[in-house]
Structure 1
Amino acid sequence: MEKKQNFSRKREAILEALRETKSHPTAEWIYQQLKPSFPDLSLGTVYRNLSRFKEDGTVVSVGVVDGQERYDADVTPHSHFVCESCGAVLDVDDEFVDPESDREVSRILGVQVLSHQVIFRGYCGACMEKLQAEKGQ
């Protein structure tokens, strides 16, 4: 029997907070943003709802950055860039893996690919400027 999803103001607020930012936030960030409006909100509630959103495909996990899982409400195919210095996560709008890759990997390995992620890592513009300024001293 499928569980009925009840409407929840907190659940809606969590999803809205995630949709309104491009920062790919952590559960802690979402919790801090919503706590003033929902004093009885718990971090556990945020985690449970994020888990539910991931299960139903409403949000995706970008992965763990600096020990905390990061989330994205943009579920359209796209890649990410993660700054190794400050932990910023940026969207890369163009898909840098050929759409045929899923089929090719499926064929070669004898598996069924449901999705894939491409994550670029390096230094964001602000961190590169800091590094260059430190070298110039």
Structure 2
Amino acid sequence: MATVASTVKTVTDAKLLRFALKQDAMGSGANGVVYVVVAAIFGELFGLPAAFLYPIGAFLVAWAAALLLLASRATMSKAAVGIVMAVNVAWVVASAELLIAGWFPLTNLGIALVIVQAVVVAGFTGLLFAGLRKSA
């Protein structure tokens, strides 16, 4: 019988990775549900159009489900965790761009929301990076 070598690098001892993924999932899922359910109210409160919040909310709910699925795996692909980190970095960059470009007439509360979310997502990314290094 022939043996096929796998080139997929996985992580088996990943307590910190699982913790970070679950925390990211809870935050993303909660935000997503709120955005979808009360987009009109949040839109006025933060200066963001509801038409922008609905798809962002739907994405966040799906993203949360994907993170929970990844966290529940017996072994995790390092590439999958890398993709999560890349999406998180893209979120932080997009948040900065949203503030700098002035795409929407954000209220002060809206500016604070964008900044806080970017900082939290950057924190999750740092935890994921630490988890990868610890499990390497």
Per the TM superposition, whether the score is higher than 0.5 is: no
Which protein has the bigger helix share? 2
TM-score (ref. length: structure 2): 0.26
TM-score (ref. length: structure 1): 0.26
Q: Which of 1 and 2 has greater Rg?
A: 1
